[in-house]
Amino acid sequence: NLHPNLAERAAPGALCVLIRSMQQLNPHDLQDLLRRTQADRRPWLLDVREPWEFNICRIEGSQLVPMRQIPAQVQSWSDDIKAEQSVVVICHHGIRSQQVALYLERQGFAQVYNLQGGVDAWARDVDPAMAKY
C-alpha cells in the first residue's frame, strides 16, 4: 500500500502501470553512475527515510527529505528541476523509495530512479564499512 499522503494523489489503476516502467538502479549501477558523472551533473540523491535513520548512515551527498514531507515539498520544486534533474530516491530497503519515486513520476519528474535494496544493499554491496540497522 502507498503511504496515505501519496495514495490519495495516485490515479486509480496507475500503480500497476508505473511499477512496470519504474527505473531501478542497483547499488553497483549507482556507484558507477556517481564515479563517471561530473559533480555538477550528478543525480540528486533524495533520501526519504526518517532523520534518526539518516543519522545512523547515509550515502555521501544524499539529501534528507522524509517521505511524509514529500507532497508538501514537491510543490516548491520548479518545473525545470522536474524536467531536467535526475533523481535517485533512497530509503532503507527500497520500498518507501519506490513509492516516492512513483509519486515523483506522477508529479512530472522525468528522470526518477529507485535504489533497489536501499542503503541496506548499498552497505552490503558497495560500502561494507557503512553502519547498518
Residue 72 backbone class (left: φ over 0; alpha: ψ -120 to 50; beta: rest): alpha
H helical segments located in the chain = 4-7, 14-21, 27-36, 51-56, 70-74, 79-84, 95-106, 118-125
User: How far apart (Å, rounded) are the C-alpha atoms in residues 6 and 128?
Assistant: 33
Domain boundaries, the chain: 4-125
Q: What is the pLDDT of residues 66-88, one digit of tens each?
A: 999 999 999 888 887 888 889 99
User: How far apart (Å, rounded) are the C-alpha atoms in residues 63 and 48?
Assistant: 8
* Amino acid symbol at 38: Q
Work out the pLDDT band at 40, boundaries 50, 70, 90. confident
Work out the pLDDT band at 1, boundaries 50, 70, 90. very low
User: How far apart (Å, rounded) are the C-alpha atoms in residues 111 and 43?
Assistant: 9
Global pTM reads 0.83
> What pLDDT is stored for residue 21 in this prediction?
60
Question: Does the domain formed by 4-125 have CATH 3.20.20.70?
Answer: no
* Residue that has been written with the C-alpha cell 530497503 in this structure: 93
Mean pLDDT calculated for residue range 110-133: 98
User: How far apart (Å, rounded) are the C-alpha atoms in residues 125 and 30?
Assistant: 11
What are the catalytic residues? 91
Does the pLDDT value for residue 14 go beyond 70?
A: no
Per-chain mean pLDDT for the chain: 87
